């Protein structure tokens, strides 16, 4: 969404600026932003097999390149937000999070909590992080979102996608696929098999992985709203709590 | 040194690339790099009085801009190091450090320690950080260096300057000023008054402040070598432990 997936390390600056403007217009606080890697982080992470952990010395430079690519994309996002007067502060996951076998293990959340108290908007991202078992790994934006929502006691998670939300089947191949506007955790479990057919995937797991990762937050009461961020106005409306096409996921 | 001090947010890419090459050629591990703010961080930090802490709401965007400027400079440094095959990883102080009344209070050093174990070269910088008393403040690169040297048990600190080291007087105004090639902590205390006259100052405190900040590390046994990083080859020689013009500061 904020990068051109086909073009290596090419940002969609138009989309970034529009979304920054929407976030600015919504005037919602407290707010934290998490973005993915797109064509910045993903190709490098894949090429150097960062997710699998440290196996050979050539990966070391690969990890460094992957993190640099993510910092580069993050800088563009933060810059756009600041241009729209959002006090965005980059928070680098690899500087404050260590994983264990691919899952978040230790987090230094004090800087983040203090930022939110002062009305800053921390901007995080999926990142290459150190891992006490694997050496290093990839921390997906989705895993990060759930962790933040839980530790910061978030009311809402808004997930910006390039589709309208969760469908009964893959809308790109099945014209009969219907957008599910509301779903509970129980209904979600019943639907799992159908979601697995949807194949809206990406390196970090696609729609199914995305929802799976968010379940711990939903279980403790955070609502999740999936919306199409490619459609102008949606993110602003979603942030303001206005009615918007999408999928609302609630505990019950 | 790595920026043009007179030109706002203008990096000296030639110097950055040369220093990256020198660091690469030295093949020294473990190694952590800390750089200052130059014309990126300092003018913004000053304009918004970030060091003094949170006093009015307009500073919030100023803090965000200051941090963005530092990330921008840091990205250039890390990029140059990676170009020279140094596995440099940006570590963002504001993501893992909280200060208390301007002094480092809590640090999440686990990511950093793990990076050094895997032969990464973490690259940190003076930064705008959160502060539990002041709201926020400026953490100078010098305070950060001493903290890192102490917590990571460093053998050596090499400080790259645009002068040859510590002089008996200000070499820019007094032609009789002599470079002091070796000094102990005790001698340093005796010399304080003369140093105060040297007036090689910057926003974060100048040469005197620099040495003052480094004393805790020297006291626990870390040697400090001040060298002129503007002279090609000096940083490489210093990293390799070869003889180089400068000031060596030792405990005794």
Using one digit for the tens of pLDDT, what is the confidence trace for B20-39?
999 999 999 999 999 999 99
Q: Where are the alpha helices (DSSP H) in chain A?
A: 13-26, 38-47, 58-83, 93-96, 110-117, 141-151, 185-196, 206-219, 234-240
Q: What rounded mean pLDDT belongs to chain B?
A: 92
Domains parsed from chain B with CATH numbers: 1-154 (3.40.1160.10), 155-252 (3.40.1160.10)
Tens of pLDDT along chain A (252 residues)?
899 988 889 999 999 999 999 999 999 999 999 999 999 999 999 999 999 999 999 999 999 999 999 999 999 999 999 999 999 999 999 999 999 999 999 999 999 999 999 999 999 999 999 999 999 999 999 999 999 999 999 999 999 998 898 887 777 777 787 888 999 998 888 777 665 665 544 333 357 667 889 999 999 999 999 999 999 999 999 999 999 999 999 999
Residue A17 to chain B, least CA–CA distance (Å): 16
Chain B residues whose CB is inside 8 A of the A120 CB are: 60, 63-64
Residue B48 to chain A, least CA–CA distance (Å): 13
State the DSSP code for A11: B
Q: Do B118 and A132 touch (CB under 8 A)?
A: no
Q: What is the predicted pLDDT for the residue at B205?
A: 39
Q: Do B54 and A118 touch (CB under 8 A)?
A: yes
**Which two tokens mark A17?**
């600026």
pLDDT tens profile B38-53: 999 999 999 999 999 9
pLDDT above 50: residue B236: yes
Q: What is the predicted pLDDT for the residue at B194?
A: 60
pLDDT above 70: residue B101: yes
Nearest CB to A82 within list B65, B87, B92: B65
Give per-residue burial for A210-238: e unless 16+ CB within 10 Å, then b. Answer: bbbbbbebbeeebbbbbbbbbeeebbbbb
Give the chain A residue whose CA is nearest to the CA of B58: A87
Nearest CB to A67 within list B89, B94, B96: B89
Nearest CB to B96 within list A54, A63, A111: A111
Nearest CB to A114 within list B82, B98, B120: B98
For A90, list phi and psi in degrees, rounded to 5. Answer: -65, 130
Cα distance between residue B24 and residue B88, in whole Å: 10
Give the chain B residue whose CA is nearest to the CA of A115: B130
Chain A residues whose CB is inside 8 A of the B64 CB are: 78, 82, 86-89, 120
Q: Do B67 and A85 touch (CB under 8 A)?
A: no
Cα distance between residue A77 and residue A33, in whole Å: 10
Residue A30 to chain B, least CA–CA distance (Å): 14
Cα distance between residue B126 and residue B91, in whole Å: 11
Choose the mutation target among B94, B139, B148 for the interface with A, i.e. most A CBs under 10 Å: B94
Cα distance between residue B127 and residue A204, in whole Å: 32
More confident residue, A169 or B157: B157
Chain B residues whose CB is inside 8 A of the A80 CB are: none
Nearest CB to A98 within list B64, B114, B119: B114
Q: Do A89 and B67 touch (CB under 8 A)?
A: yes
Percent of all residues in chain B with a pLDDT value above 70, rounded to a whole number? 93
Q: Do B71 and A68 touch (CB under 8 A)?
A: no
Nearest CB to B82 within list A61, A114, A130: A61
Evaluate whether B118 touches A133 at the Cβ level (below 8 Å).
no
Chain A residues with at least one Cβ partner in B under 8 Å: 54, 60-61, 63-65, 67-68, 71-72, 75, 78-79, 82, 85-92, 94-98, 106, 108, 110-111, 114-115, 118-120, 129-130, 132, 135-136
Cα distance between residue B94 and residue B212, in whole Å: 23
Helix (H, G, I), strand (E, B) or coil at B107: strand
Q: What is the ipTM metric for this complex?
A: 0.93
Count how many pairs of residues, chain A against chain B, have C-beta atoms within 8 Å: 125
């Amino acid at each position: 969404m904020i990068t051109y997936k086909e073009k290596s390390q090419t940002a969609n600056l138009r989309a970034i600026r529009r979304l920054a403007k929407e976030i600015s217009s919504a005037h919602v606080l407290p707010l934290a932003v998490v973005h993915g890697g797109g064509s910045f982080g993903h190709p490098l992470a894949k090429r150097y097999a960062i997710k699998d952990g440290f196996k050979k010395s050539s990966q070391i430079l690969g990890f460094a390149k992957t993190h640099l690519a993510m910092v580069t994309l993050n800088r563009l996002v933060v810059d756009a937000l600041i241009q729209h007067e959002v006090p965005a502060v980059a928070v680098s996951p690899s500087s404050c999070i260590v994983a264990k076998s691919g899952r978040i293990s230790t987090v230094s959340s004090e800087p983040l909590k203090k930022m939110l108290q002062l009305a800053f908007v921390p901007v995080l991202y999926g990142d290459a992080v150190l891992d006490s078992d694997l050496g290093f790994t990839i921390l997906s934006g989705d895993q990060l979102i759930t962790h933040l929502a839980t530790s910061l006691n978030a009311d809402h998670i808004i997930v910006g996608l390039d589709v309208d939300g969760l469908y009964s089947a893959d809308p790109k191949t099945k014209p009969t696929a219907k957008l599910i506007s509301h779903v509970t955790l129980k209904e979600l479990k019943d639907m799992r098999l159908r979601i697995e057919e949807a194949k809206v995937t990406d390196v970090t797991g696609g729609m199914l992985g995305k929802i799976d990762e968010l379940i711990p937050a939903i279980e403790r009461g955070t609502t999740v709203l999936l919306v199409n961020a490619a459609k102008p106005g949606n993110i602003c409306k979603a942030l303001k709590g206005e009615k918007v096409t999408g999928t609302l996921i609630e505990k019950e």
